């Protein structure tokens, strides 16, 4: 293998490692898909904006928790594109995180959440789901 090929491979591995550290990308939810999204067991909705610095810091934590707790559905909602959902869920601060169990809101937090706290909340919601 040439030095150029090794360098290219090393760069590809570095990028893949960074992606794994950050977690998988979170799917987007829209006004059209929200009802089907909430029909699942445990659903986490994160209201975010591309221009929001705290949102950018929060997204990798959200992705890592999503990777750990894949049995819950994790979705982001762009507040600039989904204004009706912002009104419906009365989002006044960014980021805002909502956790639902079978379509019922069980937890809400405004502002960025510590990764461990988010994981704790989602695990508790998963426990509630199995209790029902």
CATH label of the domain that carries residue 82: 3.40.30.10
Question: Structurally, how many domains does the chain consist of?
Answer: 1
Q: What's the whole-number average pLDDT of the chain?
A: 87
pLDDT of residue 14: 62
The catalytically annotated residue of 52, 85, 94, 121 is: 52
Annotated catalytic residue 52: yes
Is residue 43 one of the residues assigned to a domain?
yes
Is residue 19 one of the residues assigned to a domain?
no
Long-range contact set of residues 120-123: C-beta below 8 Å, sequence gap at least 24: 122/42, 122/44, 122/65, 122/69, 122/72, 123/69
Is residue 123 one of the residues assigned to a domain?
yes
| Contact in structure between 112 and 58 (CB atoms under 8 Å) | yes
Q: Containing domain of residue 83, as a range? A: 25-131
Is residue 91 one of the residues assigned to a domain?
yes
Is residue 61 one of the residues assigned to a domain?
yes
Is residue 5 one of the residues assigned to a domain?
no
CA–CA dist 71, 127 (Å, integer) = 11
Q: What is the DSSP string of 50-107?
A: TT-HHHHHHHHHHHHHHHHTTTSEEEEEETTT-HHHHHHTT--SSSEEEEEETTEEEE
Annotated catalytic residue 27: no
| Contact in structure between 49 and 93 (CB atoms under 8 Å) | no
pLDDT of residue 131: 62
The catalytically annotated residue of 55, 77, 91, 112 is: 55
pLDDT, mean of residues 101-126: 95
The pTM of the full predicted model, rounded to 2 decimals, is 0.80
Q: Per-residue pLDDT tens for 11-50?
A: 766 655 555 555 566 888 988 988 888 988 999 999 999 9
Is residue 117 one of the residues assigned to a domain?
yes
Is residue 10 one of the residues assigned to a domain?
no
């Amino acid at each position: 293998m040439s030095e150029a090929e090794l360098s290219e491979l090393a760069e590809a591995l570095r990028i893949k490692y960074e992606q794994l550290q950050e977690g998988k990308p979170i799917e987007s939810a829209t006004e059209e898909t929200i009802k089907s999204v909430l029909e699942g067991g445990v659903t986490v909705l994160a209201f975010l904006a591309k221009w929001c610095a705290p949102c950018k810091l929060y997204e990798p934590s959200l992705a890592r928790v999503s990777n750990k707790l894949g049995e819950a559905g994790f979705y982001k909602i762009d507040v600039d594109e989904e204004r009706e959902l912002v009104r419906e869920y009365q989002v006044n601060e960014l980021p805002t995180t909502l956790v639902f169990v079978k379509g019922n809101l069980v937890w809400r937090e405004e502002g960025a959440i510590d990764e461990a706290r988010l994981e704790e909340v989602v695990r508790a919601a998963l426990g509630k789901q199995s209790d029902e």
